[in-house]
Structure 1
Amino acid sequence: MSHATGRSPVTDHFELASVTRVSLNVYLDALVARALAACSFPADPVRIVRTGRPEWGDLQCNAAFLLAKRLNRRPAEIAAELAAKLGESRVFEKVEVAGAGFINLTLSARWLSNWAQAQLASPELGVVQRAPARVMLDYGGPNVAKPLHVGHLRSLVIGESLRRILQAVGEQTLTDAHLGDWGLQMGMLIAEIRREYPQLSCFSSDPAAAATPLDECALGFGMDILQKLYPRAAAACKEDAARMKEARDLTAALQAHEPAFIALWRALRAMSLKSQQCDFAALDTHFDLLLGESDVQCEIAPMLDDLRRRGLCVESDGALVVDVAEIGDRQPVPPLLLAKSDGAALYATTDLATILTRVREHAPDRVIYVVDQRQSLHFEQVFRAAVLAGYCERRQLIHAGFGTVNGVDGKPFKTRQGGVARLSDLLGDAIDKARERLSELSDDGHGRIPAPELERLARSIGIAAVKFADLSSYRMSGYVFDPERMVSFEGRTGPYVQYACVRIRSMTRRAEALGLKAGTVRVGASTERNLALECARFADVVASAADSLAPNELAEYAFQLAQTFNRFYLDCPVLAAQDHVEQCSRLALSSLTERVLGKCLYLLGIEVPDRM
């Protein structure tokens, strides 16, 4: 059954300027809701979806099946009435009832062209802006005296992408790396440094000399040595009870703000941050705050006193705990341990104090922790304790967990020696593979790339490959780190998507040299329709990625859009189009694609090089 297009009361309240106010899915869903109301059918939430096959049209609606049982009518009858009403709309070129009651919809070429033109004119490319909310993102989690390693990769890449995605929909973001800069590991390190470098001023018997500020020059060693000292210290403490006691005593002295140890701690913290910020820069990761565990230490004692006074924490075998079990728990949730029997605070104590501080100082609507999923129980305990204490509501605290980075053997990634892989080494491997690939292309007659440009391209493509491989995987799943596959210019990879964007920009430059400019979008050929429709999905994908905290949705969309453009590029000549009007139309559609694709890559934290 087919219905001709025409003006309809169903669309009177919707103008094409709506592209800046609602996404395509919301627009069409509202259109169906009005049609349901016009047919006196219940206007329950109904979704329009893309069809699985092109011969079925652009979209499909299964509202008839949802209403059939409720109305005690055959789906085909309901579909016929609804199709007739939708067929009056100028939005659709064709409306058909198929099978037992599916409604297949083909958008009007003119309407789709206008929507594409409106999207091109939109500064946000149609992404609907929400009422601003303040969202804090906690990701990265580096530790003092330790290099960033493979375990930090996903937190940094996912966290940065979420920051950009949430900003794209109008959220106000505030990011914090939350440094691991306090606790027993610092006592271990101080003990080891005292053995190796007893001449340091902080170990002087003269109190004034011991409190003298230190820097890397005064220390006499750099980050490369510091990173070797901690593993040595940790191993010694594990093997020797006396060394562990010494570390605990030094930790207590540091936490009591012994001037000499504070001077050493500040120097180690500064040195570590300087090194780690190089890795942040390599990944183009941005932090508004670089606070650490140390910044909330003054909050812990009064917080614990308050919790005791209110009866929210109790002593158990000398330790201080909060009972966070809830009726209905499917699995046991142990009490949250806030202090050991010796009075030492724990990660949980610091995390709870951090929530208290963040709520008081920044009043966030949400705090999102981008941390390994293996810490889910820890965060569930801490979040429940924060709610019990009245610091915030449960909906404000979100653990955006993620799976592990795995080797080709499917197990968590390790170095060949079985150790934890440094982040800089992982990025270096991908950059090396990208350099090899670019050199191969140069040797195959694509024109030799000058050495400085080759290095810039290798870095851009290598890091894009790592990020895309990470972000294209479902956040909760692990993925295999395989640089050889990641840097391929074919398949579902970062370089493939980058190349599509570079190709459009190159074509645009050639058009400008010929005096051609983008004109009005006129969708005609099937691949033009597909490309315009794929671009129109952008706002819905961004909104969904923001709601689900799922950058993989955006990465998958970017890949599909790149594929759709490449098919359009092969089927529809742009610069060699039949006439000037067609040239300018296809340039406009290409420009829209380039802007959408470029924005996708930006939201994934991926830059687009000038050439590839």
Structure 2
Amino acid sequence: MKTILELIGEQLISAFNECGYDEKYARVTVSNRPDLCEYQCSGAMAASKEYKKAPFIIASEVVAKLEGNQIFKNIECVNPGFINIILDEAYLGTYLEAMRSSEAFGYKSVKKPQTVMIDFGGANAAKPLHVGHLRSAVIGESVKRIEKFVGNHVISDVHLGDWGLQMGLIIEELRDRKPELVYFDESFSGEYPLEPPFTISELEQIYPAASTKSKENPEFKERAHTTTLKLQNSDPAFTAVWKHIMNVSKVDLIKNYSNLNVTFDLWKGESDAQPYIPDMVQDFIDRGFAYESQGAMVIDISLDTDSNELPPCIVRKTDGASLYATSDLATIIEREKLYSPDKYIYIADKRQELHFTQVFRVAKKVGLVKETTELTFLGFGTMNGKDGKPFKTRSGGVMRLENLIADINEAVYNKIIENRTVEDSEAKDTAKIVGLAALKYGDLSNQAAKDYAFDIDRFTSFEGNTGPYILYTIVRIKSILTKYIENGGSIKALKIATPEGSKEKALMLSLTKMSDVITVAEEEKAPHKLCQFIYDVSDAFNGFYHDTKILVEEDADKQKGYISLITLTKSVLECCIDLLGIEAPDRM
């Protein structure tokens, strides 16, 4: 189904062509002055330079060709040469009815679906999720859902940090705490236990303790290095411990990601890439891409077009160890072998931009991916406190994500019970749904690359551009529809009517933007633009609701038109919040 902008554009293209002007000047946009018009074309200004005519004359000629067109209620030329357009109400009603009865509200899926690999820049094993993991999780989940909606095949990978020195540190700290375990008995030759020798709570204490000890005790740190090397060389005892660490960690991570309504197709980690590294680095050397620099093996990535010289990518350190870049390049080899993606999207802190620039350029330079493969880094900013500094607990530590979720759920619960409209148990269940919406919408409504301030009072407000306001709008529509049915009405076989009031038309116009917004949100990897659309529709609905007596309307046909319109509104909003990883309760 074509969008309103496409349909209006077709009319203007025809008119520009008939007048002898290039159709490239017929671009139509939504007006930024809704008090003057609904849509606008400013192409006559640019065309005047090519055709040596005043913009007003060109625009007037085009408008003359469109007089009487059924799409437009009014189309006029205004100085210095703008074409202002107001849509015909009957045509708008017909368009909304087609949108209502179409699959996916008339959205046209991509013509050539792509395989898209989304890398969430994963959490570390053996460590609880904290507020720093929030953005990659919620932004990645929304990008994933948007990509699927447009028709692409998506593979999402948590990409856990499950390798390197941290594992040696954990194993050695475990040795100091429980030296009697069979993993540390060099004479042991039996089967290692299936049950882990620690709980998730113990594991979460072990890593920070080991990290602190390594900074204070050189001997301990050296032991951890030795153990890490043994693990990487497949030592059976340490491999068994590592598997316990991963199994226990994954159970906890799956639970916590599920609390965010975030899921992954793959639970791979850095360890999965390790088998590819030796051959990969040797291949880089053999083909002349990698060379020695101060004992390390590096690959140049600078281009003549760079404004600043970029450092080479180190693929092997002087001691023979690999780095994050090495692991990411080897991961690409595995992904190409297993999935051959058309597009990669990496979700990570924007401070990692140089890292991904290096990885992407090496991948293209050495031919790990095709020239046509899209490699995108979606870098996000920091979630700060109201003081503008990175968000911390009151004691100054990094807040665990589950504690942040608990705090925001409590704030929503307190607001819900103030109204005393639901039972306590229902209020708690509802608070979890609304709290998650407050948290995720508060994050996603900001442009990903920008820092933002976490403000629990603002995010949990039921007014303004917030998650609770959006959900309350949907719940309000549900309530109206429920009462309509209870009073004997039916929402079957309804049809969108021609709008009569300005608020009704404004709501309809807001709904027509859905396809365009989703297309832009996918192309720009910009969930915040979808949030803005959701808010605009919600605001338009509430304007219509306060201006219209829906349930007491005496004209049955007019009431059916209202009910059909708000049913479509509810469906569009529910579809769009689902693309954010949010759901709405039945009552609030």
Which residue type is aligned with residue 144 of structure 1?
A
Mapped partners of 1:405, 1:259: distance in 2: 41
> Which of 454, 457, 461 pairs up with 1:488?
461
1:15-164 alignment runs, 5 A limit: 20=1, 22-44=2-24, 46-130=26-110, 131-139=112-120, 141-164=122-145
Aligned to 1:603: 579
Q: How many angstroms does 1:587 deviate by?
A: 0.5
TM-score of the two chains, using structure 2 as the length reference: 0.97
| Change in CA separation of 1:55 and 1:231 when aligned onto 2, cut-off 3 Å | closer
Mapped partners of 1:140, 1:308: distance in 2: 28
- Answer yes or no: is the 8 Å Cα contact 1:318–1:341 preserved in 2: yes
Which residue type is aligned with residue 488 of structure 1?
S
Which residue type is aligned with residue 480 of structure 1?
A
Q: How many angstroms does 1:514 deviate by?
A: 2.1
> Which of 470, 473, 478 pairs up with 2:443?
470
| Change in CA separation of 1:350 and 1:338 when aligned onto 2, cut-off 3 Å | same
Partner deviation per Cα, 1:52-90 (whole Å, 9 max, x = no partner): 344422211112112111111011111111111122321
Aligned to 2:519: 543
- Answer yes or no: is the 8 Å Cα contact 1:383–1:394 preserved in 2: no
Mapped partners of 2:81, 2:330: distance in 1: 57
Aligned to 1:180: 161
Q: How many angstroms does 1:213 deviate by?
A: 3.8
> Which of 238, 244, 248 pairs up with 1:261?
238
Which residue type is aligned with residue 76 of structure 1?
F
Q: How many angstroms does 1:602 deviate by?
A: 0.6
Which residue type is aligned with residue 211 of structure 2?
A
* Residues 1:498 and 2:471 are matched in the alignment: yes
* Residues 1:418 and 2:396 are matched in the alignment: yes
Mapped partners of 1:198, 1:441: distance in 2: 57
Aligned to 2:433: 460
Mapped partners of 1:240, 1:46: distance in 2: 71
* Residues 1:514 and 2:487 are matched in the alignment: yes
Partner deviation per Cα, 1:479-499 (whole Å, 9 max, x = no partner): 111112111101110000011
TM-score of the two chains, using structure 1 as the length reference: 0.93
- Answer yes or no: is the 8 Å Cα contact 2:25–2:46 preserved in 1: no
Mapped partners of 1:55, 1:248: distance in 2: 68
Which stretch shows the higher mean deviation, 329-338 or 403-412? 329-338
> Which of 428, 435, 438 pairs up with 2:406?
428
- Answer yes or no: is the 8 Å Cα contact 2:9–2:28 preserved in 1: yes
* Residues 1:582 and 2:558 are matched in the alignment: yes
Q: How many angstroms does 1:140 deviate by?
A: 5.1
Partner deviation per Cα, 1:135-172 (whole Å, 9 max, x = no partner): 11111501111011111100000000001111111111
Q: How many angstroms does 1:222 deviate by?
A: 1.2
- Helix, strand or coil for the counterpart of 1:137? strand
Q: How many angstroms does 1:317 deviate by?
A: 1.9
Q: How many angstroms does 1:328 deviate by?
A: 2.0
Point out 4+ residue stretches in structure 1 off by more than 4 angstroms: none
Aligned to 2:265: 288
Which stretch shows the higher mean deviation, 523-532 or 257-266? 523-532
Q: How many angstroms does 1:122 deviate by?
A: 1.3
Q: How many angstroms does 1:454 deviate by?
A: 1.4
- Answer yes or no: is the 8 Å Cα contact 1:517–1:587 preserved in 2: no
Aligned to 2:344: 367
Aligned to 1:385: 362
Mapped partners of 1:474, 1:537: distance in 2: 20
Aligned to 1:7: none
Mapped partners of 1:236, 1:86: distance in 2: 78
Ranges in structure 1 where 5+ consecutive residues have no aligned partner: 1-19
1:270-349 alignment runs, 5 A limit: 270-349=247-326
Which residue type is aligned with residue 517 of structure 1?
S
Q: How many residues align?
A: 583
Partner deviation per Cα, 1:232-274 (whole Å, 9 max, x = no partner): 1112212222222111100000000000000000001110110
Which residue type is aligned with residue 301 of structure 1?
P
- Answer yes or no: is the 8 Å Cα contact 1:127–1:168 preserved in 2: no
Aligned to 1:215: 195
Which residue type is aligned with residue 182 of structure 2?
S
| Change in CA separation of 1:140 and 1:283 when aligned onto 2, cut-off 3 Å | farther
> Which of 507, 511, 521 pairs up with 1:531?
507
Which residue type is aligned with residue 177 of structure 1?
V
Partner deviation per Cα, 1:443-485 (whole Å, 9 max, x = no partner): xxxx2x2222111111011110000010000111011111121
1:217-236 alignment runs, 5 A limit: 219=197, 221-236=198-213
Mapped partners of 2:271, 2:35: distance in 1: 63
- Answer yes or no: is the 8 Å Cα contact 2:405–2:435 preserved in 1: yes
Q: How many angstroms does 1:31 deviate by?
A: 2.5
Aligned to 1:165: 146
Partner deviation per Cα, 1:275-331 (whole Å, 9 max, x = no partner): 011111101111110001111111111111111110111122221111111112112
Which residue type is aligned with residue 247 of structure 1?
A
Which stretch shows the higher mean deviation, 125-134 or 541-550? 125-134
Aligned to 1:396: 374
Mapped partners of 1:223, 1:369: distance in 2: 28
- Answer yes or no: is the 8 Å Cα contact 1:368–1:397 preserved in 2: yes
- Answer yes or no: is the 8 Å Cα contact 1:207–1:260 preserved in 2: no
Mapped partners of 1:208, 1:455: distance in 2: 53
- Answer yes or no: is the 8 Å Cα contact 1:601–1:607 preserved in 2: yes
- Answer yes or no: is the 8 Å Cα contact 1:127–1:543 preserved in 2: no
- Helix, strand or coil for the counterpart of 2:105? coil
- Answer yes or no: is the 8 Å Cα contact 2:125–2:245 preserved in 1: yes
Q: How many angstroms does 1:99 deviate by?
A: 2.3
- Answer yes or no: is the 8 Å Cα contact 1:23–1:128 preserved in 2: no
Partner deviation per Cα, 1:429-450 (whole Å, 9 max, x = no partner): 11111111112122xxxx2x22
Mapped partners of 1:311, 1:241: distance in 2: 38
Which residue type is aligned with residue 307 of structure 2?
R
Q: How many angstroms does 1:215 deviate by?
A: 2.3
- Helix, strand or coil for the counterpart of 1:324? coil
Which residue type is aligned with residue 265 of structure 2?
D
- Helix, strand or coil for the counterpart of 1:44? helix
- Answer yes or no: is the 8 Å Cα contact 2:314–2:325 preserved in 1: yes
Residue identity over aligned pairs, in percent, reads: 39
Q: How many angstroms does 1:389 deviate by?
A: 1.2
Mapped partners of 1:25, 1:453: distance in 2: 44
